[in-house]
Amino acid sequence: MSNLKTITKDKFDAVLFDLDGVITATAKVHTVCWKKMFDEFLRRRPDEPFEPFNTKTDYPIHIDGKLREDGVRSFLQSRGIFLPEGDSAEPPGYETVHGLGKLKDQMFKEILHAEGVEVYEGAVELVKQLRGWGIKTAVVSASKNCKAVLEAAAIDHLFDVRVDGLVAQQLNLPGKPAPDKFLKAAQQLGVEPDRAVVVEDAISGVQAGRAGGFGLVVGVDRKGQSEELRKNGAHIVVSDPGELL
């Protein structure tokens, strides 16, 4: 197993990183915002008993790693709730898929502005070391706030390519577990998937890495789900990307 953890220039040309939960600690903030938004919404439904959003089960299954509207849709469907799609011009809070997604996004931006961004130092050190070896790096995220988070953390210069929620929307790329965003990042870097590494903490993310035929899929277990990450496509699982140094 130890030799698999060695990322060297002779084996790989690029490493593609997820953002939230891998490089930055923003996954915790996203989880808090999703719970607050959904719980407020569910409490407003008087004809149904209130069953709160569960961060241990609902978040990894329905939300983690997915595009915002896909996450809203998936969770609501799990509760038998079907809302109109709405559109991106609606203000936050409308009881539509877009309206709820925008409300969660508003909550996230308020916390980001007030508290800034915490990074995982091990992950940042790994990115710097890889670049020092001449290995290309990209960030692949479902978040439409990816650029703002990278800039707030002052690490935007460490990535050659960024494929995020905004890019996915512009290019009409499906979200994880589809591999399209990772494949687009590899294409933009000019590398073949089997010569690239995917580093992900989401089950949908490791599924995407495996579906895309990437040479190595690394699961990052920060939530006690190492077995699930392995079952869903991770070749190896680490508790922090710094272990790959």
Residue closest to 229 by CA, chosen among 14, 12, 18, 8: 18
What pLDDT, on the 0 to 100 scale, is given for residue 95? Answer: 93
Using alpha carbons only, give the angle 200, 122, 221 rounded to the nearest 5 degrees: 35
What pLDDT, on the 0 to 100 scale, is given for residue 5? Answer: 61
Backbone angles phi, psi at 220, to 5 degrees: -110, 115
Q: Residue ranges of the chain with pLDDT lower than 70?
A: 1-5
What pLDDT, on the 0 to 100 scale, is given for residue 110? Answer: 94
What pLDDT, on the 0 to 100 scale, is given for residue 2? Answer: 41
> Domain 2-25+119-244 - what CATH class?
alpha beta
**Domain coordinates in residue numbering, the chain:** 2-25+119-244, 28-115
Q: Which residue shows structure tokens 């869903």?
A: 232
Element (H, E) at 217: strand 216-220
Q: Coil, strand or helix: which one is 150?
A: helix
pLDDT, tens only, 147-165:
999 999 999 999 999 999 9
Q: Enumerate the β-bridge partners of residue 220.
A: 238
Ordered alpha helix ranges (H), the chain? 26-43, 58, 68-78, 97-115, 121-132, 146-152, 165-171, 180-189, 203-211, 226-231
Q: Which residues contact 220 (CB under 8 A, 6 or more apart)?
A: 18, 21, 22, 199, 200, 201, 229, 237, 238, 239, 240, 241
pLDDT, tens only, 26-66:
988 999 999 999 999 999 998 889 999 999 999 999 999 89
Task: Please give the positions annotated as active site.
Answer: 18, 20
What pLDDT, on the 0 to 100 scale, is given for residue 4? Answer: 55
Q: Which residues contact 64 (CB under 8 A, 6 or more apart)?
A: 21, 27, 201, 202, 203, 204, 205
Which token pair is 155?
């690490």
What pLDDT, on the 0 to 100 scale, is given for residue 245? Answer: 82
